[in-house]
Structure 1
């Protein structure tokens, strides 16, 4: 049985991810991230490092892996954590239809 995202129950993990997008996560957040990383259409928002340890942008995997990755020109992130937060926000919206209107950190 595949776990499905339940916005009401899983919303509690948003703040946990925002506080620490990289590193150890609770079992509940790990379960949510596993679902968020799988897209049956094959079209997945991904993180692309343009300059090691300094610059990241977002892209989208194509449905057919023979096609090129679509790379966004902006925004350009200077923090991997901030870029990971944007990937999380976009995947959450795609799965739930809900926008997360919170910056990476306040």
Structure 2
């Protein structure tokens, strides 16, 4: 690999990090209590324009560290896991909280993503 190829890849990473930082700032400005409540009531499906924008920004980004739902017991128990971003490395359980429905787990992921952008 040539030195110029490495420089281009590094520059791409710099711009990607800048893009993610700008998106996090944009998401912080969009957060409102009514949007959080709207998501709690209906975590999946059609949302208002403001919530759809916020959810898109929160769900965008690198695969490593993304949250997902693991079914512990079908229709009864769900946990949140986080992807490693490395092929062959399984997701890790985020905490020991168990959710009774997928909707509760999806909303918990939404709240975690909101907490992540405020750090």
TM-score bracket, shorter-length normalisation: 0.7 to 0.9
Which residue of the other structure, out of 70, 73, 86, is the alignment partner of 1:51? 73
Q: Deviations over 1:48-100 (max 9, x none)?
A: 11222221001110021331111246211112221111111111111123xxx
- State the structure with more CA Rg: 2
Which residue of the other structure, out of 57, 71, 80, is the alignment partner of 1:35? 57
> Which ranges in structure 1 are unaligned for 5 or more consecutive residues?
98-106
Scaled by the length of structure 1, the TM-score of the pair is 0.74
Q: Would the aligned equivalents of 2:27 and 2:57 in 1 still touch at CA under 8 Å? A: no
Larger relative helix fraction: 2
> Which ranges in structure 2 are unaligned for 5 or more consecutive residues?
1-18
Scaled by the length of structure 2, the TM-score of the pair is 0.67
CA-atom RMSD in angstroms: 2.3
